[in-house]
């Protein structure tokens, strides 16, 4: 089996700042970083400086500041309308019209462009060029001034020779590099220009931005930053990122970009605040520790239930409350599963304590209903959202703390989320006493299922909507055609777990009967049907319940069916680049062709897994699937998902192919999306650090 050794990688992190964090206004117009490293942000209501972790407004500047320059001598130049001044107040000039840009040449000379003129600021302003067209941006290249003016690209050299360069787009921004090459921002995207006659654009080089471009900045390490009306593009060697409003930016239109002196951080201004995007070197393990810390701080409630946290906005993680979800046991269990594998790898006490707390919470759900073998979806207590609202699926009982409500209508999701993590916990974490308690609780569930004709039956004695593993239904009732493969696989997994835990032989015998007489193993060969990728719940459950069957089944003939089914399912979802799917597939097939793809997805994932409004569909570089979705009455989605740091975050049971997330508010999701594949990969020796 192959091991991919992952060196420290570049990880982007973001933080938003606005008026609440000290900005003079959310409407950012300009940005610059001084020689001393301080960050200056110009707004429509003055200037703020970032130091000691916070912004402080500069009381001497309360007017609009639309342009800035940090010169090589350490001075900060500010443009306030027609006025040019230094931040220390020692120098101040009044020019002919509003200033649009600053630049500095190799000899240290400062140039300033207004709408009509270019000036040098050597002692006093001196006009060196007048433009017949309104200037919008300026750049210097050796002895040449380049201007975006009147929608065209203009140049004037030291002899005063004036030239106009035509392009098929409206020129709005210009920047020069050390090779003498220009990048030109237009209403049709970025053009690269050799300063003579040769142009290259997105039609020739697809990675070049093709959106309305207002700002171009060349970073100190060679990065290119592209500010557009719909987000910011970052060219970093072979890597290209495009970040729209939502997780990375507080608003769509980029109005300013500045880079730190060491090139590790950019500040991106918008009309609704500024985003600091830092690039740090990080290991996969450090990232895993980050997700555990976030989950423990923000996603744990009551006796250890783990779920999403509703928050008020994209920065206040401590606001709101942890959701009382339909699947408290599933999310608690999968988080516990990651920590059980972590404990198996590291022996760390923290991992054991988290896993044990989670297991106790799951056992509580198995018993609180008072119905032997019937597990609650969730519980809530007095004072928590919805308690006592009379919803028919919530049932009032008491425990040692007093009143508590439990939720019924339990599904196959919940059962998979209890059995698989509990089995792995027993393998790596449980004491003999715990193991016996867990085995008895799981046996009670299967006894309940078998007694009720392979269904989960609620407090009213009726089957729940999705808790059905009945062989007649799965094999011979078209109503359950879509669930045939995955539900067959689930029940085999439950029975194999009990056999592995040393439970009564009847569970082994039933497993054999279902495999041989009800062809459940054959069903498992086709556990994923072509649904145009509209149902991702079955993807999650199918891959999750693979774990115990691959760990515990020893019959090579039976394993062939499971492995064929795993291959079919993984191939269908291969374009998703899902870290859990890919790492699990590599672990149990020893076929590692996309292992590196899954690990790269772990690297791409942002530092916080947040469900947040994001609108990528404004982009014109997306490839849509207009056919498959229509068969199921769904809206078009992408043919291939966006990178994990660009697309809307979605948990394993949700659609990774969506370009936008337009519903709901803000939620910070527990870190299982990263932690489960990472620790599974570490356990099987697939990931080395």
Residue 273 in contact with residue 266, Cβ under 8 Å? no
Note the pLDDT of residue 1. 67
For 499-543, what is each residue's pLDDT tens digit? 999 999 999 999 999 999 999 999 999 999 998 888 899 999 999
Residue 329 to residue 418: CA distance in whole angstroms? 6
For 88-142, what is each residue's pLDDT tens digit? 888 899 999 999 999 998 888 899 999 999 999 887 899 988 888 999 999 998 7
In a domain, 312, yes or no: yes
Q: Which residues contact 622 (CB under 8 A, 6 or more apart)?
A: 616, 638, 642, 659
What integer is the mean pLDDT of 193-210? 86
Q: Which residue has the higher pLDDT, 172 or 592?
A: 172
In a domain, 627, yes or no: yes
Note the pLDDT of residue 669. 96
Q: Above 80 in pLDDT, residue 593?
A: yes
Nearest CA to 39 among 233, 265, 212, 364?
265
Structure tokens at 358: 């989670």
Q: Which residue has the higher pLDDT, 254 or 203?
A: 254
Note the pLDDT of residue 261. 95
**Number of structural domains in the chain:** 1
Note the pLDDT of residue 142. 79
Residue 451 to residue 575: CA distance in whole angstroms? 41
Query: In what helix (H) or strand (E) does residue 547 lie, and over which residues does it extend?
Result: helix 546-552
Q: pLDDT averaged over the chain?
A: 94
pLDDT band at 464 (very low <50, low <70, confident <90, very high): very high
| Structural domain of 633 | 283-317+573-689
Note the pLDDT of residue 201. 83
Note the pLDDT of residue 438. 98
In a domain, 206, yes or no: no
In a domain, 604, yes or no: yes
3-state percent breakdown (helix, strand, coil) of the chain, nearest 5: 30, 30, 40
Note the pLDDT of residue 662. 85
Q: Residue 393 CB: number of other CB atoms within 10 A?
A: 16
In a domain, 655, yes or no: yes
Q: Above 70 in pLDDT, residue 651?
A: yes
In a domain, 612, yes or no: yes
What integer is the mean pLDDT of 396-419? 97
For 247-295, what is each residue's pLDDT tens digit? 999 999 999 999 999 999 999 999 999 999 999 999 999 999 999 999 9
Note the pLDDT of residue 34. 95
Query: In what helix (H) or strand (E) does residue 610 lie, and over which residues does it extend?
Result: strand 610-611
Note the pLDDT of residue 507. 98
In a domain, 580, yes or no: yes
What integer is the mean pLDDT of 538-563? 97
Note the pLDDT of residue 384. 95
Note the pLDDT of residue 674. 98
In a domain, 61, yes or no: no
Q: Which residue has the higher pLDDT, 131 or 446?
A: 446
The rounded percent of the chain whose pLDDT value lies above 90 is: 83
Q: Is 40 helix (H, G, I), strand (E, B) or coil?
A: strand
Residue 144 in contact with residue 153, Cβ under 8 Å? no
Q: Give how far Cα 641 sits from Cα of 36, 124, 644, 646, Å.
A: 42, 55, 8, 9
Q: Above 90 in pLDDT, residue 377?
A: yes
């Amino acid at each position: 089996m192959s091991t991919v050794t992952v060196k420290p990688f570049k990880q982007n992190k973001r933080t938003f700042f606005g008026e609440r964090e000290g900005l003079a206004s959310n409407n950012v117009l300009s940005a610059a970083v001084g020689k001393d490293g301080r960050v200056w942000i110009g707004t429509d209501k003055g200037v703020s400086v970032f130091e000691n972790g916070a912004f402080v407004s500069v009381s001497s500047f309360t007017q609009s500041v639309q342009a800035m320059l940090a010169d090589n001598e350490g001075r900060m130049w500010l443009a306030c309308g027609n006025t040019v001044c230094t931040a220390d107040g020692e120098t101040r000039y009044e020019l002919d019209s509003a200033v649009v840009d600053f630049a500095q040449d190799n000899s240290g000379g400062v140039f300033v462009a207004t709408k009509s003129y270019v000036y040098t600021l050597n002692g006093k302003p001196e006009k060196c060029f007048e433009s017949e067209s309104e200037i919008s941006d300026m750049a210097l290249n050796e002895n040449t001034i380049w201007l975006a003016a009147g929608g065209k690209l203009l140049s004037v050299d030291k002899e005063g020779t004036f030239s106009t360069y035509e392009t098929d787009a409206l020129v709005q921004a210009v920047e020069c590099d050390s090779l003498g090459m220009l990048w030109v921002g237009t209403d049709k995207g970025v053009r690269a220009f050799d300063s003579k006659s040769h142009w290259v654009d997105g039609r020739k080089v697809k990675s070049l931005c093709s959106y309305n471009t207002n700002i171009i900045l060349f970073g100190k390490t060679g990065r290119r930053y592209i500010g557009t009306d719909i987000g910011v593009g970052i060219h970093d060697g072979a890597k290209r990122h495009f970040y729209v409003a939502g997780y990375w930016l507080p608003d769509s239109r980029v109005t300013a970009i500045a880079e730190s002196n060491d090139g590790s951080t950019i500040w991106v201004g918008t009309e609704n605040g500024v985003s600091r995007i830092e690039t740090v070197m990080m290991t996969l393990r450090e990232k895993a520790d980050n997700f555990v810390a976030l989950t423990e701080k923000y996603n744990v409630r009551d006796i250890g239930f783990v779920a999403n946290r509703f928050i008020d906005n994209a920065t206040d993680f401590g606001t709101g409350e942890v959701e009382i979800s339909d699947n408290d046991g599933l999310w608690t269990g999968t988080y516990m599963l990651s920590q059980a594998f972590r404990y198996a790898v590291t022996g760390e006490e923290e991992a054991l304590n988290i896993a044990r707390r989670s297991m106790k919470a799951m056992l509580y759900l198995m018993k609180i209903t008072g119905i032997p073998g019937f597990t609650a979806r969730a519980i809530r207590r007095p004072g928590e959202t919805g308690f006592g609202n009379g919803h028919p699926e919530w049932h009032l009982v008491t425990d040692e703390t007093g009143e508590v409500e439990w939720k019924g209508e339990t599904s196959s999701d919940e059962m998979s989320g209890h059995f698989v993590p509990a089995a792995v916990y027993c393998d790596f974490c449980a004491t003999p006493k715990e193991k016996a308690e867990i085995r008895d609780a799981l046996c009670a569930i299967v006894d309940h299922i078998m007694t009720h004709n392979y269904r989960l039956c609620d407090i009213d004695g009726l089957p729940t909507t999705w808790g059905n593993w009945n062989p007649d239904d799965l094999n011979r009732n078209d109503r359950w055609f879509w669930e045939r493969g995955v539900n067959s696989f689930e029940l085999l997994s439950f029975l194999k777990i009990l056999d592995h835990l040393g439970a009564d032989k009847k569970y082994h015998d039933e497993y054999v009967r279902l495999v041989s007489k009800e062809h459940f193993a054959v069903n498992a060969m086709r556990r994923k049907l072509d649904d145009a990728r509209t149902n991702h719940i079955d993807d999650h459950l199918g891959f999750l319940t693979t774990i115990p069957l691959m760990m515990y089944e020893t019959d090579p003939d039976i394993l062939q069916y499971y492995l064929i089914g795993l291959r079919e399912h993984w191939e269908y979802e291969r374009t998703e680049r899902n870290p859990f799917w890919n790492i699990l597939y590599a672990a149990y097939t020893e076929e590692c062709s996309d292992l590196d793809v899954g690990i790269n997805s772990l690297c791409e994932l942002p530092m916080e897994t947040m469900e947040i409004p994001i609108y990528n569909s404004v982009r014109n570089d997306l490839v849509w699937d207009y056919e498959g979705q229509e068969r199921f009455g769904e809206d078009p989605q992408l043919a291939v998902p966006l990178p994990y740091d660009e697309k809307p975050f979605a948990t394993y049971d949700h659609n990774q192919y969506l370009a936008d997330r337009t519903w709901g508010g803000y939620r910070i999701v527990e870190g299982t999306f990263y932690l489960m594949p990472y620790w599974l990969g570490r356990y099987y020796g697939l990931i080395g650090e």
